[in-house]
């Protein structure tokens, strides 16, 4: 399977992607735990059907020490007993932020308030940015049908 197009072949698009990637790196350097970040990226990628990002973030999470059990249960986080309340709040915020078009008014207040119980304003700001960035990458990869399976941890630096 090949991607429909090589978006990096366009110098303008490649430049824009460097900026999105740089934004993601700044956000990931803030105080949200790295395993929580990867769980959030996996959940958004599951919802959006982005195989490339699922491959990437499963492998990055495993490299960061995430367990196979927790990785396998991300899609069923509500029923799984392996996540902390803070992780659950992050996953719920990710779902609502990813499915924003499904809810009139966007992310419900109770979802936001639950996340705010576990994360401070800087962390919430970072999480909002991370959700936006992973959704942008998901949408690009799904549109071009970027193949999954060959990602190597740390591949993009």
Q: What is the pLDDT of residues 55-112, one digit of tens each?
A: 999 999 999 899 999 999 999 999 999 999 999 999 999 999 999 988 778 899 999 9
Tokens at residue 17, please? 């992607």
pTM of the model: 0.94
In the numeric block, the tokens 């769980």 are attached to 39
Averaged over 14-43, what is the pLDDT?
A: 93
**Is residue 95 within 8 Å of 47, Cβ to Cβ?**
yes
By percentage, how much of the chain surpasses pLDDT 90?
80
> Could you tell me the CA-to-CA distances from 147 to 6, 30, 59, 126 in Å, in that order?
12, 30, 15, 28
Q: How far, in Å, CA of 84 to CA of 76, rounded?
A: 14
Which domains, ranges and CATH numbers included, belong to the chain?
33-144 (1.20.1290.10)
By percentage, how much of the chain surpasses pLDDT 70?
99
């Amino acid at each position: 399977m090949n991607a429909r197009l090589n978006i990096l072949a366009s110098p303008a698009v490649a430049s824009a992607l460097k900026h999105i990637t740089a934004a993601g790196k700044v956000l990931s350097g803030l105080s949200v735990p790295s395993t929580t970040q990867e769980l959030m990226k996996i959940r958004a990628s599951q919802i959006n059907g982005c195989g490339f990002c699922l491959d990437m973030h499963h492998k990055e999470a495993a490299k960061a020490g995430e367990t196979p059990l927790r990785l396998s249960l991300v899609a069923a986080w509500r029923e799984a007993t392996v996540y902390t309340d803070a992780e659950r709040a992050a996953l719920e915020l990710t779902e609502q932020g990813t499915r924003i078009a499904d809810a009139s008014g966007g992310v419900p207040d109770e979802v936001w308030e639950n996340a705010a119980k576990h994360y401070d304003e800087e962390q919430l700001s970072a999480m909002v940015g991370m959700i936006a960035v992973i959704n942008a990458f998901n949408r690009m990869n799904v549109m071009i049908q970027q193949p999954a399976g060959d990602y190597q941890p740390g591949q993009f630096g």
